[in-house]
Structure 1
Amino acid sequence: MKQPLRFALNRMATPRLPLEDFLDLAVRLGADAIEIRNDLKGVEIEDGTPPGRVRELCRAKGLRVLSINALYPFDVWNEERRQQAMRLATYARDCGAEALVMCPLNDRADPRSSAERAAALRTALGELAPILRGHGLIGLVEPLGFSECSLRRKRSAMDAIKAVGGLDVFRLVHDTFHHHLASEQDIFPEQTGLVHISGVEDATLPHDDIRDGHRVLVGDADLLGNAAQIERLLAAGYTGYLSFEPFADSVHGLDDIEAALRASMRHLEERVCPLDGRAA
């Protein structure tokens, strides 16, 4: 039997809505989970909303807080990063979040060699593991597929996680956008804690010119193969959430974001046909 898809809303889907309106939108859409962010001006967390307020509202509306998105750049470890990690982990615990998304350095000016980047990744994971365990959180490692990123592929992340003995506390984010940009073939359904979904529709863009601002809701013109990626994950055993994460201003400025999200949900429900019991 085909299982229903489990949708969630990342705050990036509606960065201008007040918190309660955002949560009510999730409820109306039948999405029982959300992600909040620390990088959006004028809304939680940046606006000073107490974590207890987030917890109270989400509990009242029956919503899970999947994550805070994100600790950046988590793989450049220093005292500043330690303090940032502690603040975010404390907020995540107190607001009822289950995980902390962790994004690697994405900087064309990064002077480090591949070996130096790999060593820094292991150092950061080793330092973060006890912080996360102490706060009862999962660390969601999200490779970014951009060519300049210090951690592009999930295979490299998994190797580092295993090297530091972190399989108990770290999971992967499979982001359909970044999976496509990295030209990655490997998937890790058993180690995947969350899937971020978005689409790109501009076929004139050179591969290396695709950026966050091109990320829209998934529809018929999607070039990233979202449906195929999701099918592979589900067929290989992934049972978690698909969280909408569109960055494009064209999405954020829609007059009826609810209708647009419903249409994207319907599109995926019609296109995704997991093969029960069969490996990808």
Structure 2
Amino acid sequence: MINTNRFALNRIAAPALGLSEFFDLATSLGMEAVELRNDIRGGSVTDGIEGPKVLRMAKAAGANGVKIITINALQQFNLPSARMKALGELESLLTLCRELECPALVLCPNNRPDDGRTAEQKFHDTIEALNTYAPLFSSAGVRGYVEALGFGISSLSSIQTALKAIGESGASCYRVLIDTFHSYLGPDKPEFFDDPSVIEKIGLVHISGVEANIDKSAFTDAHRMLPGPKDIMKSAELVQRIERAGYKGFYSFEPFSPEIQSLEKNELARLVRASIQYLQEVCL
């Protein structure tokens, strides 16, 4: 069974909560870890609060505090035309990671329909970006978690391709971020995650579920609920597979659905507990 303290909460689940409330919610669920974001609440990771103060707030939450395990995310990391902007943003985010004692920053690929690059060029640009950013990550003592987005317009939709790019970069500061939603949409076969050599390169796993009775080509982030028995993606089966292959890290709830985000705090907590219990039962 997956211990409750191996589950984490991404702030996208409760964007209306202030940081103290969010940290307290996580600890009330038996969690020890959370993820913060730069795409909600006006784009401020810390709601305009200085990093050292946020760190103190996190450590004071609940009985034992909570660890900020990632900041989501550096966007369009592999798009050359956005490179200068990304470098400036990366430096700021890495500084904040250090202030928050946060060990990792998520890297998201370009995901826009006007990307006219060939697959070969996208791969080359991904390697080039990883090489460019690696000295900054290494200097800061922070890892980069490369996330493949499974959407058809994504410039990096495969974890297998992401791992190949990381390998060709030769940089040791990177890991991959697995997302059950994007793994379902993307080209990688579930059997790919049976390989222990793949599992050891995973930094984090994002989990969500989809209950809408629609074709997966119509899936959007707004369909992402909490994993449960009605999940047509069967995220729990991927979690079970990853567990059996030896994964020992965190599983972070990342539900983008407005239906989840608008829940009152106690109701959200109830549903997260139910999802944890469901995943624990599947992964006995």
Same structural fold, with TM-score higher than 0.5 when normalized by the shorter chain: yes
- AA at the equivalent of 1:103: C
Partners in 2 of 1:57 and 1:133 — Cα distance? 27
- 1:244 to 2:248 alignment: no
Describe how 1:59-98 pairs up with structure 2 within 5 A.
59-61=59-61, 62-77=65-80, 78-98=83-103
Provide the residue aligned with 1:215 in structure 2.
Answer: 224
Runs of 4+ in 1 over 3 A off after TM superposition: none
SS at match of 1:36: strand
Provide the residue aligned with 2:163 in structure 1.
Answer: 158
Partners in 2 of 1:272 and 1:3 — Cα distance? 7
Provide the residue aligned with 1:184 in structure 2.
Answer: 188
SS at match of 1:247: coil
SS at match of 1:216: coil
Provide the residue aligned with 1:260 in structure 2.
Answer: 271
Q: TM-score, normalised by structure 2?
A: 0.92
SS at match of 2:41: coil
Provide the residue aligned with 1:133 in structure 2.
Answer: 138
SS at match of 2:200: helix
Provide the residue aligned with 2:244 in structure 1.
Answer: 235
Between the aligned residues of both structures, percent identity stands at 37
Question: Structure 1, residues 41-88: CA drift from partner, whole Å, max 9, x if none?
Answer: 258526322111221111223211110000001111421111011111
Partners in 2 of 1:214 and 1:180 — Cα distance? 13
Q: Which structure has greater helix proportion?
A: 2
Partners in 1 of 2:75 and 2:42 — Cα distance? 19
- 1:142 to 2:119 alignment: no
Provide the residue aligned with 2:206 in structure 1.
Answer: 196
- AA at the equivalent of 1:202: A
Contact 2:199/2:245, CA 8 A, preserved across alignment: yes
Question: Structure 1, residues 225-272: CA drift from partner, whole Å, max 9, x if none?
Answer: 111101111111100000000000000112321111111111111112
Q: TM-score, normalised by structure 1?
A: 0.93
- 1:272 to 2:283 alignment: yes
Partners in 2 of 1:239 and 1:248 — Cα distance? 27
Residue 165 of structure 1: CA displacement? 0.6
Instruction: Report the CA distance shift for 1:19/1:43 in structure 2 as closer, same or farther (over 3 A).
Output: farther
How much is the aligned-residue C-alpha RMSD, in angstroms?
1.3
Q: Determine which of 101, 105, 109 is the counterpart of 2:106.
A: 101
- AA at the equivalent of 1:179: S
Pairs aligned (count)? 270
Provide the residue aligned with 2:120 in structure 1.
Answer: 115
